Amino acid sequence: MSVYFLYCRPGFEKDLAAEIQHKAAEKEIYGYCRVKDNAGFIEFDATEHEPGLLFKVLKLDDVIFARQWFRQVAELGDLDEGDRITPIIQALENEIFTDISIDYPDTNDGKALAKFAKKFTLPLSKALEKRGLLKKNTKRRLHLFMQSSDCIYLGFSVFSNASRHHLGIHRLKSPKDAPSRSTLKLEEAFHHFIPKEEWDTRLGSGLHGVDLGASPGGWTYQLVQRSMFVAAIDNGPMDTRLMETGQVRHYQEDGFVFRPRRGNNYWLICDMVEKPTRVAKLMAQWLADGDCKEAMFNLKLPMKQRFNSVLECFDVIENELAELDIRYSLKAKHLYHDREEITVHLYCTKRYDGL
Ligand SMILES: C[S@@+](CC[C@H](N)C(=O)[O-])C[C@H]1O[C@@H](n2cnc3c(N)ncnc32)[C@H](O)[C@@H]1O
């Protein structure tokens, strides 16, 4: 069986389906998707191809709308309430794995299963261990995805190409003194895009950043917390406590016109609600002009054809940067704290003059 199970934010199933078909086809893997509106997951059926091939040619990090994925090995329906474990063990045959994740969709129905999932974990683990299926050092995780308490999909992911977070959701605690909850979007983005061992240099104290569309300051707060200096651009007011840190200068200017006065700016962050291609172009121009080394920004997506809209924005960025002597990486993810937007990271890895 070469069927893949992919999780997403409910409401984004069609976007994920369009994306996985497009990206798999680029690797010459052809298949079709089974999609149900607001289910919080899709199935990608690539039965003609070797099982697991998709995981060898595509990284989860490169699939924008997917939070988690696994290769399906069985679908169990009408499970007996008295004994769910026996059919699970039978379906697994002799497959071995090192970890178990009991999953459910990120929907209201799914959340109602969370308690059951928690209670089920221990007896299931014990039974699987006893049968010799749960073993050390296999690099594989068993997923039990419960659509309901009597309908379960079973399958495997590989540690090196899957999310380490349960359900692919990175939960973060909202800092009490942050001016807005959107602060979590940028915090999650830093965790997702910047390797921890590089935080000291890329998110370290003393760096300078510009925040376009900064009011009231949730994103600026993330830089200030890391002892950076921020130029905050917005006609709206900035949080008083942030201003009192002395690390923030507030400019009531148009974010599409503002540029840093000095050549020492490292970060560009941008949360302006604007046409996505317009924002994409602006970000690429900053990078092209050497006005920042890294940019983290949101693209607010339309209600329909979101994946096409992302492709259009990537084209805009790639065209802006095509003729220049710079190397860059361009990555995007629909993060847990994002809603109708995705977060994009544009990073100039080879710089000319100065920065
Ligand atoms: C979603 S809010 C930003 C929230 C902020 N990131 C936070 O965490 O608190 C978008 C902001 O973009 C600002 N904005 C929109 N267009 C702008 C422009 N052309 N120049 C500057 N700011 C703009 C709005 O005034 C608004 O405050």
CB atoms inside a 10 Å sphere around CB 122: 9
* Residue 336 DSSP label: T
- Residue 266: inside a domain, yes or no? yes
- 8 Å CB contact between 331 and 296: no
Is the distance from the beta carbon of residue 26 to the nearest atom of ligand 1 less than 6 Å? no
Q: How far is the centre of ligand 1, averaged over its atoms, from the C-alpha of 211 (Å)?
A: 9
Task: With H, G, I as helix, E, B as strand and everything else as coil, classify residue 224.
Answer: helix
Q: What is the pLDDT of residue 323?
A: 83
One domain for residues 201 and 256: yes
Residue nearest to atom 27 of ligand 1 (CA): 215
* Residue 38 DSSP label: T
Q: How far is the centre of ligand 1, averaged over its atoms, from the C-alpha of 180 (Å)?
A: 12
Range of the domain at 189: 183-350
Q: How far is the centre of ligand 1, averaged over its atoms, from the C-alpha of 101 (Å)?
A: 39
Q: Please give the number of the atom of ligand 1 that sits closest to the Cα of 233.
A: 21
- Residue 189: inside a domain, yes or no? yes
Task: With H, G, I as helix, E, B as strand and everything else as coil, classify residue 92.
Answer: helix
- Sheet containing 294-300, strands listed edge to edge, beginning at the edge strand earlier in sequence: 248-251, 229-233, 208-212, 267-270, 294-300, 341-350, 327-333
Mutate to test the pocket of ligand 1, among 177, 221, 234, 254 (most ligand atoms within 8 A of CB): 234
- Name residues whose C-beta falls within 8 Å of residue 102's C-beta, 6 or more positions apart in sequence: 117, 118, 120, 121, 124, 144, 146
One domain for residues 149 and 233: no
Active site (annotated) includes residue 300: yes
Phi-psi region of 93 (alpha: psi -120 to 50; beta: other; left: phi over 0): left
Question: Which of 168, 197, 225 is the last residue in one of the domains?
Answer: 168
Annotate 256-301 with three-state secondary structure. CCCCCCCCCCCEEEECCCCCHHHHHHHHHHHHHHCCCCEEEEEEEC
One domain for residues 196 and 325: yes
- Residue 294: inside a domain, yes or no? yes
Q: How far is the centre of ligand 1, averaged over its atoms, from the C-alpha of 338 (Å)?
A: 16
- Residue 174: inside a domain, yes or no? no
Of 36, 135, 173, 300, the active-site residue reads 300
One domain for residues 85 and 201: no
One domain for residues 73 and 99: yes
Is the distance from the beta carbon of residue 213 to the nearest atom of ligand 1 less than 6 Å? yes
Is the distance from the beta carbon of residue 204 to the nearest atom of ligand 1 less than 6 Å? no
CB atoms inside a 10 Å sphere around CB 350: 8
Phi-psi region of 246 (alpha: psi -120 to 50; beta: other; left: phi over 0): left
One domain for residues 112 and 204: no
One domain for residues 164 and 271: no
Q: Residue 69 to residues 82, 163, 241, 285, 348: CA-CA distances in angstroms?
A: 29, 8, 42, 35, 30
Is the distance from the beta carbon of residue 180 to the nearest atom of ligand 1 less than 6 Å? yes
Number of domains forming the structure of the chain: 2
One domain for residues 202 and 143: no
Is the distance from the beta carbon of residue 236 to the nearest atom of ligand 1 less than 6 Å? yes
Degrees, nearest 5: CA angle 183-186-187: 85
Q: Please give the number of the atom of ligand 1 that sits closest to the Cα of 179.
A: 9
Q: Domain with 60 in it: what CATH number?
A: 3.30.70.2810
- C-alpha–C-alpha distance, residues 253 and 257, integer Å: 8
- Residue 178: inside a domain, yes or no? no
Of 103, 67, 27, 21, the closest CA to residue 307 belongs to: 21
- C-alpha–C-alpha distance, residues 186 and 192, integer Å: 10
Is the distance from the beta carbon of residue 178 to the nearest atom of ligand 1 less than 6 Å? no
**DSSP H or E segment with residue 125:** helix 114-130
One domain for residues 217 and 311: yes
One domain for residues 9 and 116: yes
Mutate to test the pocket of ligand 1, among 190, 211, 215, 256 (most ligand atoms within 8 A of CB): 215
Is the distance from the beta carbon of residue 235 to the nearest atom of ligand 1 less than 6 Å? yes
One domain for residues 272 and 296: yes
Maximum Cα–Cα distance across the chain: 70
- C-alpha–C-alpha distance, residues 111 and 10, integer Å: 12
- Residue 175: inside a domain, yes or no? no
- C-alpha–C-alpha distance, residues 284 and 347, integer Å: 10
- C-alpha–C-alpha distance, residues 322 and 281, integer Å: 13
- Residue 173: inside a domain, yes or no? no
Q: Domain with 315 in it: what CATH number?
A: 3.40.50.150
- Name residues whose C-beta falls within 8 Å of residue 338's C-beta, 6 or more positions apart in sequence: 9, 185, 298
Is the distance from the beta carbon of residue 250 to the nearest atom of ligand 1 less than 6 Å? no
* Residue 220 DSSP label: H
Q: How far is the centre of ligand 1, averaged over its atoms, from the C-alpha of 330 (Å)?
A: 23
Mean pLDDT per block of 10 residues along the chain (355 residues) reads: 94 98 97 97 94 95 98 92 91 94 95 91 94 94 91 96 98 95 97 98 97 98 98 98 98 98 95 97 96 97 93 97 91 97 95 55
Q: How far is the centre of ligand 1, averaged over its atoms, from the C-alpha of 271 (Å)?
A: 6
Q: What is the pLDDT of residue 352?
A: 60
- Residue 177: inside a domain, yes or no? no
One domain for residues 188 and 164: no
Question: Which of 168, 202, 234 is the last residue in one of the domains?
Answer: 168
* Residue carrying structure tokens 């690539």: 46
